[in-house]
Amino acid sequence: MNKKEKILIVDDEKIVRESLLHWFLDEGYIVDSAEDGESALKIFNNNNYNLVLVDLKMPGMSGLEVLKKIRSVDKDTIVIMITAFASVPTAIAALKEGAYDYVTKPIDPDELAHLVKKALEQSALRIENRQLKENLDEIGRHCNLIGESFQMKKIYEMIKTVAATDTTVMINGDNGTGKEIVAKAIHSRSARKYFPFISIKCSSLTEEMLESDLFGEEAGSPIGNTIRKKGKFELVNGGTLYLDEVSSISLKLQVEILNVLETKQFCRIGGDEIKKTNFRLIVANNVSLDGLVKAGRFREDLNYKLSVFAISIPPLRERGEDILLLAASFAKKFSDAMNKPVKEFSKEAVNFILGYDWPGNVRELENAIERAIVIGKGDFITVDDLPFHLSVPGFEPEDGRKSLSAIEKKYIHKVLNENNWNISRSAAILEIDRVTLYNKINKYKLRKNI
């Protein structure tokens, strides 16, 4: 055997001490011994032991006193008491002070070996779980939220405040601003952080698909599923459910979701068994639900339920002081992933990045820096490495104007005309949402060519 665990044996009886020493040496452990409490503590303080076997009755310092002092120094060390005078009061006293268990003399070596093995396995698992939780805590403290602007500092404070509660959260912001990252930061700082975080983009699913995804189905359900399927309400139990683009949820499903939020109960589609669930809901949207409520497309009662605590994420163009921090972070991220040296930005690239409007927000910046790391050849990231350096074939700024706004205006107008002013198609090509495109059209006073 090749065990690494260290054991300390403390007993004033030489024959017992030496017998135990040889038994555990033969088992492959690293073993030391001491004849009394004082010498045991000196040895213990100079070494890291996984387990200590201590005789309860010894001259001078008793085994119970040794136990207390060991536990005060290292709560992870397992202590098993040895006694020739087993009684309920002594056992209770030892266990109250943190002893793992106790054995009686004469000692059965097989029984003790089994007890020691079980105790060490449980201790190793406990330490591993604690380290895992500590790692998760560390991850939670760095949830890819980057920024030192006053807007981001306010968001950090709001995350800290609401994470300590179970309140439903509404996150508002344009596409690409990082709404899901904020949701994950809330989850990772909450008491639910060791349970699932499940994300659904509601706009990407039909009403029938979203209902099935949320509630699950019984075999032979009206939807036609032939096997039983667990839904997200069931799978997320204990954790956090994140619903993106909630404005796209149908009125029928809004009623059903509201009922789950109020009762914490639901049934699978095609079933009548009531299932209980316990989760925290975080929702996100890129348009105001108040307008949809007025238009009769969103339930007012559900809007109230979802908007108890709201966080608004500003577009990247309003967080100018964060742009270079984000760009540098993305450069390091993709350089590490591609095993390339981390590059700095040329002066021209810095000016360009700071001057660009970033209609696609943080997501657009991330994609731009990834491209720059992929295609860049020199020691610096240059303007030519960035995808929005608009050297587009057949396109030149009007009147020779080189400003970013002039370039953007001309390019957006070009894409709109090429797509016969189909807003959805043009927005997809420009990699921005429809609302942002309408804002650009109004900003630049663009008109359809006749």
Domains of the chain (ranges plus CATH)? Answer: 6-134 (3.40.50.2300), 162-314 (3.40.50.300), 317-385 (1.10.8.60), 398-444 (1.10.10.60)
Residue 187's Cβ-side half-sphere holds a number of Cα atoms within 13 Å equal to: 27
For residue 348, report the phi and psi dihedrals to the nearest 5 degrees: -65, -40
pLDDT of residue 131: 67
- Per-residue pLDDT averaged across 16-41, rounded? 91
Mean pLDDT of 168-174: 95
Neighbours of 326 (CB within 10 A): 21
Whether 16 and 107 have beta carbons less than 8 Å apart is answered as yes
**Cα 109 from Cα 204, distance rounded (Å):** 64
CA 62-64-66 angle, to 5 degrees, is 75
b (16+ CB within 10 A) / e for 150-180: eebeebeebbeebbeeeebbbbbbbbbbbbb
The residues near 182 (Cβ < 8 Å, ≥ 6 apart) are 145, 155, 159, 171, 311, 313
- pLDDT at residue 406 above 80? no
E strand or H helix that includes residue 44: helix 37-45
**What is residue 255's predicted lDDT score, i.e. its pLDDT?**
96
CA atoms of 279 and 168, how far apart (whole Å): 10
Treating both helix axes as pointing N-terminal to C-terminal, what angle do 109-141 and 179-188 enclose, rounded to 10 degrees? 140
CB 202 within 8 A of CB 210: yes
Calculate mean pLDDT across residues 409-420.
83
- Selection from 310, 201, 187, 200 nearest residue 238 by Cα: 187
The SS3 assignment for 276 reads: strand
Beta-carbon contacts of 237 under 8 Å, excluding residues fewer than 6 positions away, are 195, 277, 278, 279
pLDDT reported for residue 421: 87
Q: Is it the case that residue 289 has pLDDT exceeding 50?
A: yes
Q: Contact, 242 vs 180, CB < 8 A?
A: yes
Query: Count of alpha carbons within 13 Å of 295, Cβ hemisphere only?
Result: 9
**In 149-251, at which residue ranges do the beta strands (DSSP E only) sit?**
169-173, 197-201, 216-217, 229-230, 240-244
- What tens digit of pLDDT does each residue of 142-164 get? 456 788 888 998 999 999 999 99
CB count within 10 Å of CB 353 equals: 22
Q: What is the pLDDT of residue 129?
A: 73
What sign does the CA torsion over 377, 382, 384, 388 have? Answer: positive
More confident residue, 412 or 388: 412
User: What tokens does 265 get?
Assistant: 């109960």
> What is the chain's mean pLDDT, rounded?
86
d(CA 304, CA 320): 33
Contact 270, 221 (CB under 8 A): yes
DSSP 8-state assignment for residue 269: B
Q: Measured between alpha carbons, how far is 312 from 243 in angstroms, rounded to an integer?
A: 16
pLDDT at residue 225, rounded to an integer: 63
Report the phi/psi class of residue 185: left, alpha or beta, with left for phi > 0 and alpha for psi in -120 to 50: alpha
For residues 65 and 70, give the distance between their C-alpha atoms in angstroms, rounded to a whole number: 9
Name the residue with higher pLDDT: 91 or 328. Answer: 328
Q: Which residue do the tokens 């929702």 mark? A: 283
Residue 122 confidence (pLDDT): 87
CB-based burial label for 27 (10 Å; 0-12, 13-18, 19+): middle
One-letter identity of residue 445 = K
Backbone angles phi, psi at 400, to 5 degrees: 70, 10
Q: Which of 131-135, 187-191, 215-219, 390-394 has the lowest mean pLDDT?
A: 390-394
The pairing of strands 229-230 and 216-217 is antiparallel
Question: Pick the residue with more confidence: 217 or 223?
Answer: 217
Tell me, what DSSP letter sits at residue 228?
A: -
pTM beyond 0.75 = no
- Give Cα 182 to chain centroid, integer Å: 10
Residue-level pLDDT at 395: 40
pLDDT tier at 180 (50, 70, 90 boundaries)? very high
Asked whether residue 392 carries a pLDDT value surpassing 60, the answer given is: no
**Looking at the predicted structure, is the pLDDT value of residue 397 above 80?**
no
